[in-house]
Amino acid sequence: MDTIYDVLIIGGGPAGLTAGLYAGRAKLTAAIIEKGQDGGQIALTNDVENYPGCNPEGESGVELIKRFSRQAERFGVVRYADTAVSVDLGDEIKIVNGHNGQYRARTVVIANGAYPRKLGCPGEKEFSGKGVSYCATCDGNFFEDLEVYVVGGGDSAVEEAMYLTNFARKVTIIQQFPYLTAAKSIQERAKRNSKIEYLLGYEVQSLEGDGLLQKLTVKNMETGELTTLEADEDDGMFGCFVFIGSVPETEIYKGQITLTERGYIPTDEDMRTNLPGVFAAGDLRDKSVRQVVTAAADGCIAAMQAEKYLAELS
């Protein structure tokens, strides 16, 4: 790519798209690199009800994010379908290397988010796609009339558990703490759903089966006792959906951008990282609240600060 953009945005989720929209509107030349479908994590969810201004009757993440994408495009943001493989952000002209070419810009907004945290237990990798899933909207359908376990206790786990009751005949939430951490209104709705049961205070130890997932062993966190849950004989298998949080996707920035111990990018209030002209926005930032609305706010601030930085340069 011959163009040296004013702003190069890595990631097309809510943070990146908002940064693009604001940069474009400020008449900066801006480009977004996104490896998959726009939206990142939010695009996988069936029902978003807490993004301010979203459809009050609820809407899917895809529907919501489509509007973000259209807004960014309306303001002339260039889109590249590519994956950022390596970066060189220390100089005046920042470089991002993708599979399809090299991208150069005067400022960069790192907004490529996070990926689902894995259980890390034996059998998890083996049964991925054979019973283990991290995406209810992708795989719920396979478990029509079967039993399903959902591991986790936060908003995502409980919301996706409710979504899965559209397919499964029984959904059991397995949570390591003796309580759920999901918002109260979500917990209440789940309580009214007769298809949902709970195993609170249990941790998944291992997953087994013969080609497809058939056994799940849990440990009682208090007593240490192990229990193996087996698939119903007629079913022959069950599902295990994992919603235990996410891990920031910041491998490629190691050695250049300061990262916290857990891999998040610390910034100041203006989204500035340790490198001049490089900003971070969204879930991969070191912060306490990770929601679509805070990601969008980050993206806006990053773009406006990038504009200020560029004005000060010239």
Partner 1 sequence: MLIEADRRTFEAEVLQAEGTVIVDYFSESCVPCMALKPHVEELAKQYGDKLKFVALDTAKARRVAIGQKILGIPVVAVYQNGEKVEELVQDDCTVEAVEALIKKYY
State the residue for tokens 């235990």.
Answer: 244
In angstroms, what is the minimal distance from the CB of 66 to partner 1? Answer: 12
**Which one of 13-21, 123-131, 170-178, 196-204 is the stretch in contact with partner 1 (CB under 8 A)?**
123-131
Catalytic residue (choose from 91, 138, 232, 270): 138
Q: Using CB under 8 A, which of 4, 62, 304, 310 touches partner 1?
A: 62
- Read off φ and ψ for residue 32, nearest 5 degrees: -115, 130
Task: For residue 138, state whether it binds partner 1 (rule: CB under 8 A).
Answer: yes
Task: For residue 114, state whether it binds partner 1 (rule: CB under 8 A).
Answer: no
Would you call 283 a catalytic residue per the annotation?
Answer: no
Would you call 286 a catalytic residue per the annotation?
Answer: no
Q: Give the sign of the dihedral formed by CA 13, CA 25, CA 80, CA 65.
A: positive
Alpha-helical regions (H) of 35-154: 61-74, 136-139
In angstroms, what is the minimal distance from the CB of 65 to partner 1? Answer: 10
Q: Using CB under 8 A, which of 15, 44, 180, 301 touches partner 1?
A: 44
Would you call 232 a catalytic residue per the annotation?
Answer: no
Number of chain residues interacting with partner 1 (CB under 8 A): 30
Helix (H) or strand (E) holding 219: strand 212-220
Region for 121 from its dihedrals, namely left if φ exceeds 0, alpha if ψ lies in -120 to 50, beta otherwise: beta
Q: Of 51 and 115, which has the nearer Cβ to partner 1?
A: 115
Written as one string, the DSSP assignment of 162-183 is HHHTTT-SEEEEEESSSS--S-
**Looking only at residues 243 through 272 of this chain, which bind partner 1 when binding is defined by CB under 8 A?**
none
**Which one of 17-25, 89-97, 175-183, 205-213 is the stretch in contact with partner 1 (CB under 8 A)?**
205-213
What is the C-alpha separation between 298 and 36, in angstroms, rounded? 21
What is the C-alpha separation between 201 and 224, in angstroms, rounded? 10
Q: Of 133 and 273, which has the nearer Cβ to partner 1?
A: 133
Tokens of 94: 């920042």
Q: Using CB under 8 A, which of 211, 225, 308, 313 touches partner 1?
A: 211
What is the C-alpha separation between 165 and 292, in angstroms, rounded? 25
- Read off φ and ψ for residue 15, nearest 5 degrees: -65, -50
Q: Which residues bind partner 1 (CB under 8 A)?
A: 35-37, 39, 43-44, 62, 83, 99, 115, 128-135, 137-139, 141-144, 211-213, 237, 239
Which positions are catalytic?
Answer: 135, 138-139
